[in-house]
Amino acid sequence: GAVVSQHPSRVICKSGTSVKIECRSLDFQATTMFWYRQFPKQSLMLMATSNEGSKATYEQGVEKDKFLINHASLTLSTLTVTSAHPEDSSFYICSAPQGTGVRQYFGPGTRLTVT
Amino acid sequence: TQLLEQSPQFLSIQEGENLTVYCNSSSVFSSLQWYRQEPGEGPVLLVTVVTGGEVKKLKRLTFQFGDARKDSSLHITAAQPGDTGLYLCAGVTTGGNTPLVFGKGTRLSVIA
């Protein structure tokens, strides 16, 4: 099956710094990718839809200036958490639909800890 | 906004017991997916149900899609410790390239 990778898998950063998370579709092209955030013992919450070649679409309550999304190619979307704070600590997961888009492939997630 | 109500949120049972997880919505979905997620990993797709009334079996797991395509259930027979994990239902809206609508998840713990 298709594979989606994320890098890094874990990152610890200091408060006030920025962190970039990459999401790659390894063997298929994805014009759309989705970014989710998951707090401990909770479900996935959609943050934004990343669109190749155009601006991302953010869900209500998600600050677009804080969570910068760039979908520069058909296989790569990046999420940059700017000026990170401890409350941004979470598990960030991306997914990419393949083909008609009904089947989505999830990345393994990135654990962000802001100290 | 389409919502999926998933229940129960937490379930702790003994090995060998049966259990059912429910996913309900007032909205119709084109299909519904069930995922299982281990700690520190991304969700892994278990099954997709598409047709109203459809029943799919995956070893000891039985998935059912409601006739009206608004609800679904996951039944596990003779649960084992290896079934422990977070189970998520996710609704697929019309067309492709749209985000999934996730339920809140059911955290299952099977005790040996």
Chain A nearest-CA residue for B48: A103
Query: For an interface test with B, which of A32, A43, A46 has the most B Cβ atoms less than 10 Å from its Cβ?
Result: A43
For chain A, say whether B43 makes contact (Cβ under 8 Å).
yes
- Look at residue A104 in the predicted model and tell me its pLDDT: 86
- State whether A44 and B48 contact (CB < 8 Å): no
Determine the Cα–Cα distance for residues B32 and B37; give it in Å rounded to an integer: 16
CA atoms in the 13 A half-sphere facing the CB of B11: 27
Structural element, H or E, at residue A39: none
DSSP conformation class of B63: E
- Give the closest of B35, B42, B104 to A107, CB-based: B42
Lowest mean pLDDT among A54-68, A92-106, B37-51, B97-111: A92-106
Task: Say if residue B35 is exposed, middle or buried (CB neighbours under 10 Å; 0-12, 13-18, 19+).
Answer: buried
- Look at residue B95 in the predicted model and tell me its pLDDT: 62
- State whether A106 and B43 contact (CB < 8 Å): yes
Lowest mean pLDDT among A82-91, B41-50, B67-76, B89-98: B89-98
For chain B, say whether A8 makes contact (Cβ under 8 Å).
no
- Look at residue B3 in the predicted model and tell me its pLDDT: 83
Determine the Cα–Cα distance for residues B18 and B108; give it in Å rounded to an integer: 12
Which pLDDT band, with edges at 50, 70 and 90, does B2 fall under?
Answer: low
- Look at residue A59 in the predicted model and tell me its pLDDT: 94
Determine the Cα–Cα distance for residues B102 and A43; give it in Å rounded to an integer: 7
For chain A, say whether B32 makes contact (Cβ under 8 Å).
no
At residue A39, does pLDDT exceed 70?
Answer: yes
- Look at residue B98 in the predicted model and tell me its pLDDT: 82
What mean pLDDT comes out for the span A32-57?
93
Query: What average pLDDT does chain B have?
Result: 93
Q: How far away is chain A from the Cα of B44, in angstroms, using its nearest Cα? A: 7
What mean pLDDT comes out for the span B66-76?
95
Which pLDDT band, with edges at 50, 70 and 90, does A95 fall under?
Answer: very high
- Look at residue B1 in the predicted model and tell me its pLDDT: 60
Question: Which of A113, A109, A112, A115 is CA-nearest to residue A36?
Answer: A109
% of chain B at pLDDT higher than 70: 96
DSSP letter string, A69-89: EEEEETTEEEEEE-S--GGG-
What mean pLDDT comes out for the span B1-12?
89
Beta strands in B2-105 (DSSP E): 5-7, 10-14, 19-24, 31-37, 44-49, 55-58, 61-65, 71-76, 85-92, 101-102
